[in-house]
Amino acid sequence: MLAAVFRGAGDIDVVELPDPVPGPGEVLLQVKACGICGSDVGAYKTGMYEPGIVIGHEIAAEVLEVGPGVEGWAPGDRATVNGVIPCGRCYFCRHGRPSLCEEVLMPGVNMNGGMATRMKAPAGALHHIPESVDDHAACLIDPLANVLHGIRRSRFKPGDRALVLGGGPIGLLTVQCLKLAGARAVYLSEPSPPRRRAGGSVGADAVFDPLAENLYIRLDELTEGEGVDFVFECAGVPATLKEAPMLVRKGGQVVILGICEEPVESDFMTVVLNEVEILGSYCGPEEYPAAITYLARGQVNPQSVISHVIPLEDLVSKGFEALAAPMPEPLKVVVEMPAR
């Protein structure tokens, strides 16, 4: 099979590897497409993944073969693979927190993933992809599940106002989901012009350029001094993480969906004096069925998030290098696998 292998920071090779063989309880998949995640780009910059791993966890595939003992799956079935495969035994699994599993398996992170023509996965980690969701849109199931997990964990309720920091795929999906959940208003802050335009297309009530506008003044004007109830941090960079507690109203909540690999300074005096809550949210394994339903019903617009579809051979030059730029223009890059 042809696969994208992570070697270290700035180093991904597309090479030939032996086809995987499914064991008991496993399924062999023919991968159709795989999205490049922001965490993949972070690993490309910093080297935080395990060297030698086949990357990719935003997967659209078709079942080729089922291993011994597998039920409910047959060749030809369309499937995605959950980005979190919990052990089911540790403290966190027993207490309903699979995102925090102590022995978690994560395709493309600590087990071979889907940026390859073929992959194998535990049958229990698969979810059916309905016919109304095409292969490209199916690559949004994982990031959409992440967003739904964060909103579900937050205190958000219909009628609240929210500011989303970062107009990448997670930010654009957050805007759409908050609007669906009944937000009174959702604002987006993003320095990249193409991403700001995308923010307007997905329904943001106002879109800001933080390099040219004073967010404090703009929010004060738009909310008549009341401020926003929530800030959803979706950029995962020190500047937005530092600023987030100062942009939410007193008693508000900051929900952090972005992953930042760098240390961040913050104004904890503001956090204390304003009684600001800060909530981290990681992955969304339990939200995969809901994400699939949102896409199947057309409640989320995949075309507004997917900006580029490229072949596997262009993975580095038109995928990772473009997304790792200081101000990337691509939104979600979906990689199509060759038929073989």
Q: What is the DSSP string of 187-252?
A: EEE-S-HHHHHHHHHTT-SEEE-TTTS-HHHHHHHHTTT--EEEEEE-S-SHHHHHHHHHHEEEEE
pLDDT for position 151:
98
Token pair recorded at residue 122: 């535990």
Q: Which helix (H) or strand (E) holds 21?
A: none
Model pLDDT, residue 261: 84
Domains and CATH numbers, the chain: 2-144+284-336 (3.90.180.10), 155-280 (3.40.50.720)
Q: What pLDDT, on the 0 to 100 scale, is given for residue 50?
A: 87
Q: pLDDT digit string (tens) for 158-167? A: 999 999 999 9
Residue 39 is which amino acid? S
Taken in order 189, 209, 173, 100, the sign of the CA dihedral is negative
Which positions of the chain have pLDDT values less than 70? Answer: 340
- CA 50 to CA 230: how far, in whole Å? 35
Q: For residue 339, which amino acid is it? A: A
